[in-house]
Every structure is written in C-alpha cells, then in structure tokens.
Amino acid sequence: MRATMPSRAGVRRILLTLTVLILHGATPWPATALAGAPATTPASLIELRRHTELAMARGDYRAAEMLVETYLPAAQRLAEPTWLVFNAHLVATRIKLALDKVAEAEGHALQLDSVAAAAGSSDDAMERAIAAITLSQVRQRQDRSAEAADLARQALAILRRAHERGRITRQTFERERLAYEEVLIAAGSGEKSAPALR
C-alpha cells in the first residue's frame, strides 16, 4: 500500500504538543551553561523552538535536527521534563525528515514506472534497468517507513512519560496520541499505540 504523508492537522498537533511541553516545564528550569552547548533557559528554549520551526518551514529538517542536538548535552543534565521536551522535539523533526525521504523515494519509483510503461517491450534491457532502480527506491521507502514508525513509537513513549509525570493533561495526551498514530499509518505499519492512560 502506498504510504501517505500525515495531514497538516496532524503535524500541527505534533508541534502543539511540543509547545505545551515547553510551557508546562519552563518555570523550574535553571540557567545552565555547559562546555559545547549554549546556555539553557526558558527564553533560550523558546528561541530554539522559533529557529527550529523556521528551519522546518523551509523544509530544512537536517538543520532543525542539528539545532536541537546542539542543546542536547545541556538538556541531558537538567530536570527530566526538560529532557522530555528536547527529546520530543528531536523525534518530531526526525519523523518529518524520514517521511519526506519516503515520499521522495516513492516519487522516484512512480516516475520510473511511468518511463517503463512508456518504453513498452521495445527495449528489454531498459526495462530491466528501470525495474532494478525502482526496486532500490521501494526498498529505500520501506527502510524509511520503518524508521519513521520507530521514531513515532519513541514519541508516543515520550508523551506517555510526560503525562505520567503530570506535564501534559490526559486530553492533550489522547489528542497527540492520535497524531502519532497518523504517522504510524502513513509509514505503512497500520498499527496503533498502547491503550490510553487512565
């Protein structure tokens, strides 16, 4: 079955969760300056999110990922809610990056299929070459689909932990759980997450 990108509403819900996590965890976070990482304060986290989202809006998810990873050494030494925020943000950018690669691979495969159909049976060598390239693209798509699904599972675990620690409400958790299930379906796994928390 052909994988599809998650809806814009789904992506918006994912980004909304990250905002909620930041707002719920910002107050107790101390300023921290570690070697190799910028000072981490509530203001710097908001600034990080702004720059990361600008990079994502440009479609530069590698840059967004690098921005988040720059802060990870500092985040790992702060309180757990802070770590959850950074981890969730990093997972979200990686999911989008993986899904973009899935769509890119599928686009190539569809183009190659069209070329093969247009070639007909007049050039068997050409058809065999195109079939081989298409198979390679399909395998790439499958690999990226698996990666996106794995990252979505990680994100669900992060959200569950945030809910267990009272950082997000049950209503928010349920809404975001559905958003990540969209990612799992888009990645071709067709699975659903664990039952909701009670």
Read off the pLDDT of residues 28-74 as tens digits, 9 standing for 90 and up.
333 333 334 455 565 666 677 777 778 777 777 778 778 777 766 66
169 in a domain, yes or no?
Answer: yes
For 63, residues 6+ apart whose C-beta sits below 8 A from its C-beta are 55
Q: What stretch of H or E contains 157?
A: helix 124-164
175 in a domain, yes or no?
Answer: yes
Query: Residue type for 16, please?
Result: L
- pTM greater than 0.75: no
Number of structural domains, the chain? Answer: 1
107 in a domain, yes or no?
Answer: yes
User: Looking at residue 195, what is its pLDDT?
Assistant: 39
Q: Is pLDDT at 3 greater than 50 in this prediction?
A: no
Domain of residue 169: give its range: 8-186
- How far apart are alpha carbons 58 and 114 in whole angstroms? 30
194 in a domain, yes or no?
Answer: no
Q: Please tell me which residue, 185 or 195, carries the higher pLDDT value.
A: 185
191 in a domain, yes or no?
Answer: no
